[in-house]
């Protein structure tokens, strides 16, 4: 294991986010100066990697675009090389506010959870998304809460913090390569990890397009329902060590 002193690693998966990534990294540095940052450049065709390198953070580039979930998993695999105890992931589009990194990390430090999700619905902020998306989020939140027997308000939030144990688990399983939302939360639960939500405020997207729009929205709904069903059918997941 290499020597690194920081306790927290912030993973920022990025695909064509040259406009926002610089600012996001600066904000993370400002709000969590003690944390290490790694940008997973998921085969961007723009200048994302260079912009990130210029502000002095570690960049790992996929040779091809693999999907957001795969980028996160690469980040996990990287994290395990070092003795980080807490791994925080946030989007490169400026949606997630780095001011909340500590409120997520603190829950893990208190040992009251293994995985923490930043929920925009627990804060008083109003969510101004399209109605169909709101409805979808509501449905998945109800389904997930029912299965977990624990209230989960924001299943699609990519603003999460994980303990090392959870990261180790997710680095070895077949991590969903495209969307890692409700099905992943259920998987986390069935793997025996304790999940908590903390309220966070989120920005409207600063640039780029949401990964889930148009026909992808329909695919997303279908994929998620199927994936939830299969996750439940498969039962308790096991780690697949593929060395």
Partner 1 sequence: MPLRQKILAISLSIGLIILIFELVRRKKLREEYSWLWMFTGVVIFILSIWYNLLVFITHLVGAVLPASTLFFFGIFFLVLINLYFSARVSTLSNQIKELAQKHALLESRIDEYYRKKKDEPED
Q: Which residues in this chain contact partner 1 in the complex, by CB under 8 A? A: 40, 58-64, 66, 70, 73-74, 77-78, 174, 177, 242
**Could you tell me the smallest distance in angstroms from the CB atom of residue 66 to partner 1?**
5
In 3D space, the residue among 217, 130, 116 whose CA is nearest the CA of residue 158 turns out to be 116
**Could you tell me the smallest distance in angstroms from the CB atom of residue 70 to partner 1?**
5
Comparison of 40 and 186: residue with beta carbon closer to partner 1: 40
Q: Rounded to an integer, what distance in angstroms lies between the CA atom of residue 10 and that of residue 161?
A: 9
**Could you tell me the smallest distance in angstroms from the CB atom of residue 60 to partner 1?**
5
**Could you tell me the smallest distance in angstroms from the CB atom of residue 73 to partner 1?**
7
Comparison of 147 and 173: residue with beta carbon closer to partner 1: 173
Comparison of 58 and 238: residue with beta carbon closer to partner 1: 58
Residues 6+ apart with CB under 8 A from 124: none
Tally Cβ neighbours within 10 Å of residue 28: 23
DSSP per residue, 103-165: HHHHHHHTTS-SEEEEETTTSSPPP---HHHHHHHHHHHHHHHHHHTS----TT---EEEEHH
**Could you tell me the smallest distance in angstroms from the CB atom of residue 138 to partner 1?**
31
Q: Rounded to an integer, what distance in angstroms lies between the CA atom of residue 63 and that of residue 49?
A: 12
Lookup: tokens for 224: 């998620």
Comparison of 64 and 233: residue with beta carbon closer to partner 1: 64
Comparison of 90 and 172: residue with beta carbon closer to partner 1: 172
- Per DSSP, 2 falls in state -
């Amino acid at each position: 294991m290499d020597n690194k002193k920081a306790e927290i690693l912030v993973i920022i998966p990025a695909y064509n986010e040259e406009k926002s990534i610089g600012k996001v990294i600066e904000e993370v540095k400002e709000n969590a100066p003690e944390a290490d940052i790694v940008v997973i450049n998921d085969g961007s065709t723009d200048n994302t990697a260079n912009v990130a390198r210029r502000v002095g953070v570690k960049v790992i580039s996929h040779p091809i675009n693999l999907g957001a979930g795969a980028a996160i998993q690469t980040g996990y695999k990287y994290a395990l090389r070092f003795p980080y105890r807490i791994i925080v992931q946030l989007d490169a589009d400026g949606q997630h506010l780095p001011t909340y990194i500590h409120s997520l990390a603190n829950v893990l430090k208190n040992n009251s959870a293994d995985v923490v999700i930043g929920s925009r619905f627990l804060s008083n902020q109003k969510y101004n998304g399209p109605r169909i998306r709101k409805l979808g989020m509501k449905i998945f939140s109800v389904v997930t809460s029912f299965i977990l027997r624990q209230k989960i308000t924001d299943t699609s939030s990519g603003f999460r913090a994980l303990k090392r144990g959870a990261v180790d688990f997710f680095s070895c399983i077949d991590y969903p390569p495209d969307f890692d939302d409700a099905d992943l939360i259920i998987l986390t639960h069935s793997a025996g990890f304790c999940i908590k939500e903390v309220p966070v405020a989120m920005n409207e997207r600063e640039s780029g397009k949401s990964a889930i729009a148009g026909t992808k929205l329909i695919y997303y709904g279908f994929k998620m329902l199927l994936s939830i069903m299969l996750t439940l059918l498969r039962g308790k997941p096991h780690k697949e060590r593929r060395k």
